[in-house]
Structure 1
């Protein structure tokens, strides 16, 4: 409970810092401060075998969703059908990248990456689709800065709260047999899905 409180307070401070940086540096960060800090916190808190793997998965999802906006601007109609096609392509490509990496880039981190650019840029894109080339880089860099600060707060300022920093616990053969049994708890399956572990 104390660890969760420390981590939450670190994220709260960084969300406020992001907004403060916005006014000092003249950046447009206010509308992505909470989004970026929260998603960066998720990226930092969810355990995965490789820290670089989840960061790379995030960046892959981010880039694919950004390219999805480019596809919408260049080729697809600005309609529900066009948005549906773009969403399908982006999520399918994230799944392909995850499969090609053999789980080293977890699916969840790719989806978090896609959500970050969509949350930061969708409303701007909807107002001016033709301005994709000029406006999307600003949205991408601002939300990446916010996510980076949120990630930093959970990994550097509060490393004790991050399960990925704890030493691995070796399981006994009885635990491994229990996990592989068909009667194993559903929570174990959910944990494996979240951490990217394969059974």
Structure 2
């Protein structure tokens, strides 16, 4: 409970800092402050081993979604069909990256990366698809800054363990949440592939 409160307060402060930086530096961060802080918080809070894998997965999804916008701008019609094809390609490629990495780059982090650029840039793209080369770098850098600050808030400032006992007088087993996640994922994979005993 304490960890959730402190982490949430750190994210709230960083969301406000992002908006403050926007005004000071003349950046257009206001519309992505909450989006970036929240997605960076998710990226920081969800356990995964190796830890670099979730960050690499995020960047893979981010890059693939950005390339999806490039594909839409260059080749696909600006219609529902064009958007559907681009969305299919992006999500399918994120899934392929996760599969090829053997789980080191988790699917969820790739989807978070894709969601971050789509959330920051979709409305700008819809207004001016022909301005992709000039508008997309600004959207990408602003949302990456916001995500980075959200990730920083959950990893550096928030407590990493909750040392308070859940109930008085009861012994609590302390177990690595990443190991629990890995075991349950492996078990689920065994069930899906038929390798479970």
For Structure 1 versus Structure 2, the TM-score category normalised by the shorter chain is 0.7 to 0.9
Please tell me whether residue 124 in structure 1 is matched to residue 124 in structure 2: yes
Instruction: Give the corresponding residue for 1:26.
Output: 26
Determine the structure 2 residue equivalent to 1:73: 73
**Root-mean-square deviation (CA), in Å?**
2.4
Q: Tell me the CA shift for residue 49 of structure 1.
A: 1.1
Offset, 1:161: 5.1
Q: Runs of 5+ in structure 2 lacking a partner?
A: 163-173, 191-197
| TM-score, L = length of structure 2 | 0.84
Q: What's the counterpart of residue 184 of structure 1?
A: none
The unaligned stretches of length 5 or more in structure 1 are 177-187
Report Cα offsets for 1:40-87 as digits up to 9, x if no partner. 000000010111000000000000000000000000000000000000
Cα–Cα, structure 1 residues 154 and 78, in superposed 2: closer, same or farther, change >3 Å? same
Change (3 A) 1:134 1:14: same
Sort the Cα spacing of 1:161 and 1:34 in 2 relative to 1 into closer, same or farther, 3 A.
farther
TM-score (ref. length: structure 1):
0.83
Query: Which runs of structure 1 show a deviation greater than 2 angstroms over 4 or more consecutive aligned residues?
Result: 166-171
> Contact 2:6/2:159 (CA < 8 Å) preserved in 1?
no
- 1:37 alignment partner in structure 2: 37
Partner of 1:182: none
> Is contact 1:35-1:119 (8 Å) kept?
yes
Give the count of matched residue pairs. 177
